[in-house]
Amino acid sequence: MSQRKPVRKAVFPVAGLGTRFLPATKSIPKEMLPIVDKPLIQYAVEEALEAGIDTLIFVTSRKKHAISDHFDSAFELETRLAADGKTELLERINTIVPDGVSRVHVTQTEALGLGHAILCAESVVGDEPFAILLADDMIRNDGPGALSQMVQLHRESRSSVIGVEEIPDEMTTSYGVVGVDFDDSGHRAIHTIVEKPKLEDAPSRLGVVGRYILDSSVFACLGNVKPGAGGEIQLTDGIAAMLSSHPVLAYPFEGQRYDCGARQGFIKATIDYALEQPDLRDPVLEHLLQVLRESGRI
Ligand code: G1P
């Protein structure tokens, strides 16, 4: 059983087509779209590093060189910034992936679904518990990040852990939805997990967000999964198959989550992150006030 080992590896599935952001995502991956001045994938990587991850595994499709380029050193750019004395910028690009952290890129040759993408990382993950972060779910928190919180719960409980939040009735068809019972320690033990159920079939209103810590036994389960919702190999179905032999907890993390896979969430995240930047806060607030006045909202 892999649960007793620490969580050191994180898988980032980044091979999706990003159709909701076309034409922007025609030639760049949606994970490279920036919130203020950092691409979505970098926020997810930072959250993983903060949680103690030392191996980043990107599951990409062949067209996604931009992601490996982003995390590689950029010799010409670095030389230029150094020559111009732009030390702060140089520091910002040099520290994206700190020393001692390894990166592995795995290719998913066909877009067969999230479960299939995770299965592509099996040989790199091996027999260890591992994290999965979906970069288009951004989670902002003043205290420890969502994955850090989940690593803590994994350490205490030795169970797999899935990030969840309450979702409105009309959204069950967009999420994995879990049914839970409280166990003796007061944790929410998942007894059912269903991918994108109709409202009448949803076991609760607890939706899965893109943060998982899973036992490596999920790979064997995924290997037997048949195409499910949307005709895809679903991670949710692999987790469902794991439930009878491995405890999986649902964890309502602390933090604000933005669905940056949709335009509305992406714009909200952009505004909130901009307001955190000392040099942007006042001009952005001024602009928002002006927009509110002009639209008659205030
Ligand atoms: C995926 C998962 C789903 C989860 C969601 C969170 O769906 O399959 O279970 O609730 O991420 O963002 P997708 O958004 O890729 O359709």
Question: How many whole angstroms from 161 Cα to the centroid of ligand 1?
Answer: 16
Q: Is the pLDDT of residue 69 over 70?
A: yes
Query: Domains (ranges, CATH) in the chain?
Result: 2-261 (3.90.550.10), 262-298 (no CATH)
| pLDDT value at residue 73 | 79
Q: Which two tokens stand for residue 238?
A: 């692999």
- Residue 5, pLDDT score: 87
**For atom 7 of ligand 1, which residue has the closest CA?**
175
Higher per-residue pLDDT: 62 or 128: 128
| Average pLDDT for 46-64 | 91
- Atom nearest to 229 CA in ligand 1: 8
Instruction: Name the least confident of 84-93, 150-159, 202-211.
Output: 84-93
Fill in the DSSP letter of residue 232: S
Atom of ligand 1 nearest to the CA of 208: 10
Cα(187) to ligand 1 centroid in Å equals 23
The string of pLDDT tens digits covering residues 260-290 is: 999 999 999 999 999 999 999 999 999 999 9
> Residue 212 C-alpha to ligand 1 middle, in angstroms?
11
- Whether residue 54 contacts residue 102, with contact meaning beta carbons closer than 8 Å, is answered with yes
Question: 185 C-alpha vs ligand 1 centroid, how far in Å?
Answer: 28
Q: Look at residue 30 and give its three-state secondary structure.
A: helix
The pLDDT of residue 68 is: 85
Which residues lie with the beta carbon below 6 Å from any ligand 1 atom?
114, 134, 137, 175-176, 195, 207-210, 234-236, 261
Compute how many other C-beta atoms are within 10 angstroms of the C-beta atom of residue 92: 13
Q: Whose CA is nearest to atom 11 of ligand 1?
A: 210
Q: What is the pLDDT of residue 2?
A: 53
Instruction: State residue 3's pLDDT score.
Output: 57
Dist. CA 176 → ligand 1 center (Å):
6
Atom of ligand 1 nearest to the CA of 236: 9
Q: Which atom of ligand 1 is nearest to the CA of 230?
A: 16
Query: For ligand 1, what atom is nearest to the CA of residue 207?
Result: 10
% of the chain with per-residue pLDDT over 70: 99
Output the CA 205–ligand 1 centroid distance in Å.
14
Whole-number percent of the chain with pLDDT over 90: 78
Q: How far is the CA of 210 from the centre of ligand 1 (A)?
A: 7
- Alpha carbons 46 and 52: distance in angstroms, whole number: 10
Q: What is the pLDDT of residue 126?
A: 95
Whether the per-residue pLDDT at 1 is higher than 70: the answer is: no
What average pLDDT does the segment 220-235 reach? 93
Q: 151: CA distance to ligand 1 center in Å?
A: 20
Give 76's pLDDT tier (boundaries 50, 70, 90). confident
Give residue 22's pLDDT band: very low, low, confident or very high (50, 70, 90).
very high
123-147: average pLDDT = 96
Coil, strand or helix at 95: coil
Mean pLDDT in residue range 19-36: 91
Atom number in ligand 1 closest to CA 137: 12
pLDDT of 99 above 90? no
Asked whether 149 and 182 are in contact (CB, 8 A), the reply is: no
Q: Which stretches of the chain are assigned E, i.e. beta strand?
A: 9-13, 34-35, 38-39, 55-60, 102-107, 130-133, 137-140, 160-166, 176-182, 188-195, 206-214, 248-251, 256-259
pLDDT category at 9 given cuts 50, 70, 90 is very high
pLDDT above 90: residue 74: no
Convert the pLDDT of each residue in 161-183 to its tens digit.
999 999 999 999 999 999 999 99
